A and B are shown apart, each in its own frame.
Chain A
Amino acid sequence: WPPFLMFLDAIAPLGHLGTQDGLISRSLLCHLLSSSKWERNEAETSTFISALGYTSADYYCHLVENIVSSLVTELRGNQFNELNIQGRISVSHVNAVSLFCIPLITLPDLTPLLETLLDYHGGASKEILSSEFLEAVNDALLKKKISLSEAAIFSLWHRHLPSLESATLNLLDQLISLQINSLEKVACVIKDSLLIQAASHPAIFRIVNEIFKNVLLETDGAPEVMTIIQVFMQLFIQVQQNENKQHKFPLKAYFPHHQQPLVIALLRRPFELPSTHWLQHLKHISDMLKSIVEDTNISSFADLYEIWFLVACFGEWLDIAAEQLMKGAVAPDALLWLLAFYYCPENENQQRTQTMVESRAVYSHLMMFYNRTVLSFGELQASVNNIADTEQYHTQCLVTHLLTNFLLFSSGGHMIAQEFISHITETTDMSKEVCTLLIRTAYRIKHNGGENQRTVKLLNELLQKLALKV
Chain B
Amino acid sequence: MEAVLGQVAELPALFAVSRSAQVRDWEPPTLDRALDWARYFQHLHDRFRGRPRLRDALERRLRRGGTDSPLSFRHLGGCSELLGLALLENRALQPAACRRLLQRFLQGQAGPDPGRLVLLARRKAASRLLESCALSPTEPGPRVCVEARLLLCRLREDGREAGPALCWLGPVLEQLSQPRAFAVVAEALLQGDGDSPAGGQGGGAEAGSVADPLLSWLLEDPHRFSACCLLLPGTLLASLADRYARLSRRYLDLLAEWGSQLLYDSLRGRWVKSRPDEAKLCWEELRERFGCLCQGSVQLREQTQAALKLLKARDGDFQIRGLSVWTDLLLELEKDLRKKQSPNV
A residues contacting B by CB (< 8 A) are 1-2, 4-5, 8-9, 14-15, 17-18, 22, 25-26, 29-30, 32-34, 36-38, 44-64, 66-68, 70-71, 74-75, 88-89, 93, 96-97, 100-101, 103-104, 107, 109-110
Contacts of B180 in A (CB 8 A): 44
B126 partner residues in chain A, CB cutoff 8 A: 64, 104, 107, 109-110
Say yes or no: A55-B78 contact (C-beta < 8 A), given A29-B105, A74-B136, A75-B135. Answer: yes
Q: What's the least CB distance linking B72 to chain A, in Å?
A: 5
Known: A33-B85, A63-B142, A64-B126. A44 touches B177 (CB 8 A): yes
Contact B142 A33 (CB under 8 A): no
Number of residue pairs A-B, CB distance < 8 angstroms: 175
B81 touches A66 (CB 8 A): no
Complex interface: stretch among B113-121, B242-250, B306-314: B113-121
Interface-located stretch among B2-10, B168-176, B201-209, B218-226: B168-176
B320 contact set on A, CB distance < 8 A: none
B150 and A58 within 8 A (CB): yes
Whether B175 and A48, one on each chain, are in contact in the complex, defined by CB atoms closer than 8 angstroms, is yes
Contact at B135–A25, with CB atoms within 8 Å? no
- Residue positions of B touching A, CB distance < 8 A: 69, 71-72, 74-75, 77-78, 81-82, 85-86, 88-89, 95-96, 98-99, 102-103, 105-106, 111-112, 114-127, 129-136, 138, 142-143, 145-147, 149-151, 153-154, 171-173, 175-177, 180
Measured between beta carbons, the chain A residues less than 8 angstroms from B151 are: 52
Nearest-neighbour CB distance to chain B for A79, whole angstroms, equals 13
- Partner of B69 from the list A17, A51, A103 (CB cut-off 8 Å) is A51
Q: Say yes or no: B89 contacts A34, CB within 8 Å.
A: yes
- In the complex, are the beta carbons of B176 and A48 less than 8 A apart? yes
A30 to B135, CA, bound (A): 29
**Given A30-B88, A52-B172, A63-B146, residue A71 in contact with residue B130 (CB < 8 A):** yes
* Main DSSP-derived SS at the A contact region: helix
Q: Which of A22, A33, A54, A75 contacts B78 (CB 8 A)?
A: A54
Q: What's the least CB distance linking B274 to chain A, in Å?
A: 36
Report the bound CA distance from A67 to B173 in whole Å: 24
Chain A residues positioned under 8 Å from B177 (CB to CB): 44
Can you name the residue of chain A whose Cβ is closest to the Cβ of B120?
A57
B143 and A51 contact, CB distance less than 8 A: no
Judge whether B175 and A51 touch: CB under 8 Å.
Answer: yes
DSSP class of B's interface residues: helix, strand, loop or mixed? Answer: helix
Give Cα A8–Cα B175 distance, bound, in whole angstroms.
32
B150 to chain A, nearest CB (A): 5
Do B102 and A17 touch across chains, with their CB atoms under 8 A apart?
A: yes
Pairs across A and B, CB under 8 Å, 18 listed: A17-B95, A17-B96, A17-B99, A26-B98, A26-B102, A33-B88, A33-B117, A44-B175, A44-B177, A50-B85, A50-B86, A51-B171, A52-B74, A60-B120, A60-B127, A63-B143, A68-B130, A109-B126
- Chain B residues lying within 8 Å of A50, measured Cβ to Cβ, are 82, 85-86
Instruction: Determine the chain B residues whose CB is within 8 A of the CB of A107 once the complex forms.
Output: 122-123, 126
B102, B133, B149: which contacts A100 (Cβ < 8 A)? Answer: B133
Is there an interface contact between B116 and A57, defined as CB atoms closer than 8 Å? Answer: yes
| Residues on the A chain within 8 Å of B114, using CB | 1-2, 5
Q: Please measure, in the bound complex, the distance between the C-alpha atom of A54 and the C-alpha atom of B85, giving whole angstroms.
A: 11
A2 to B105, CA, bound (A): 13
Q: Which of A9, A17, A51, A104 touches B106 (beta carbons < 8 Å)?
A: A9
Check A2 against B175 for contact (C-beta < 8 Å): no
Take A34-B85, A103-B129 as given contacts and tell me if A22 and B123 are in contact as well, using a CB distance cutoff of 8 Å: no
On whether the beta carbons of B123 and A64 are closer than 8 Å, the reply is yes
In whole angstroms, how far apart are the Cα atoms of A14 and B114 in the complex? 16
Q: In whole angstroms, how far apart are the Cα atoms of A5 and B151 in the complex? A: 32
Kindly list chain B residues whose C-beta atoms are within 8 Å of the C-beta of A66: 142, 145-146, 149
By beta carbon, the residue of chain B nearest A55 is B81
On whether the beta carbons of A97 and B175 are closer than 8 Å, the reply is no
Contact A26-B118, Cβ < 8 Å, known A71-B135, A107-B123: no
How long is the Cα–Cα vector from A388 to B130 in the complex, in angstroms?
70
With A5-B106, A57-B120 in contact, do A49 and B130 touch (Cβ < 8 Å)?
A: no
B contact residues around A49 at 8 Å (CB): 147, 150
Query: What are the residues of chain A within 8 A of B96 when measuring CB–CB?
Result: 17
Q: How far is the CB of A304 from chain B (nearest CB, A)?
A: 53
> Which residue of A has the minimal Cβ distance to B77?
A53
- Contact partners of A15 in chain B: CB under 8 A: 99
CB neighbours of A18 from chain B (8 A): 95
Given A37-B89, A67-B130, A70-B142, 9 new contacts (CB under 8 A): A32-B121, A33-B111, A48-B175, A51-B69, A51-B175, A64-B126, A64-B130, A66-B145, A96-B133
A108 to B116, alpha carbons, bound, how many Å? 13
Given contacts A25-B102, A33-B85, A47-B175, contact A52 B150 (CB under 8 A): yes
B143 proximity list for chain A (CB < 8 A): 45, 63
Instruction: Contact check, B105 vs A63: say whether CB atoms are below 8 A apart.
Output: no
A62-B150 in contact (CB<8A): yes
> Among A1, A14, A33, A103, which residue has its beta carbon within 8 angstroms of that of B120?
A33
In the complex, A103→B149 CA distance in Å? 28
* Of the residues A8, A89, A104, contact of B136 by C-beta under 8 Å: A89
Q: Which residues of B contact A74 (CB under 8 A)?
A: 135-136
Shortest distance from the beta carbon of A341 to any chain B beta carbon, whole Å: 58
Given contacts A44-B175, A70-B134, A89-B135, contact A30 B89 (CB under 8 A): yes
Nearest Cβ in chain B — how far from A72, in angstroms? 10
Residues in chain B near residue A5, CB distance under 8 A: 106, 114, 117-118
A100 to B133, CA, bound (A): 8
Nearest B residue (CB) for A54:
B150
CB distance from B81 to the nearest CB of A (A): 4
CB <8 Å contact, B74 and A56: no
Q: In the complex, what distance in Å separates the CA atom of A2 from the CA atom of B153?
A: 32
Bound form: Cα–Cα A36–B91 in Å: 12
Report B280 CB to chain A, min CB distance, Å: 26
CB A327 to nearest CB in B, in angstroms, measures: 63
Q: A100 to nearest B CB, angstroms?
A: 5
Inter-chain contact A97/B133, CB cutoff 8 Å: yes
Flag if A51 contacts B172 (CB, 8 Å): yes
Q: Are A67 and B172 in contact (CB under 8 A)?
A: no
Q: Which of A34, A45, A52 has the most CB of B within 10 A?
A: A52
In the complex the two chains form, what is the Cα distance from A51 to B151 in whole Å? 10
* Inter-subunit contact A63/B123 (CB<8 Å): yes
B320: shortest Cβ distance to chain A, in Å?
43
A29 touches B116 (CB 8 A): no
| Residue in contact with A14 in the complex, picked from B99, B132, B145, B175, CB distance below 8 Å | B99
CA distance A104 to B131 in the complex (A): 13
Query: Which of chain B's residues have a CB closer than 8 A to the CB of A100?
Result: 129-130, 132-133
Residue of A nearest to B114 (CB): A2
- Given the known interface contacts A2-B114, A55-B82, A62-B150, the answer about A26 and B136 at a Cβ–Cβ threshold of 8 Å is no
**A-B pairs with lowest CB-CB distance, top 4:** A53-B74, A18-B95, A55-B81, A60-B123
Separation of A272 and B191 alpha carbons in the complex (Å): 60
Taking the nearest CB of chain A, how far is it from the CB of B191, in angstroms? 11
CA distance A2 to B121 in the complex (A): 12
Name the residue on B nearest A69 (C-beta): B142
B146 x A36 contact (CB < 8 A): no
Q: How far is the CB of A424 from chain B (nearest CB, A)?
A: 56
A38 touches B136 (CB 8 A): no
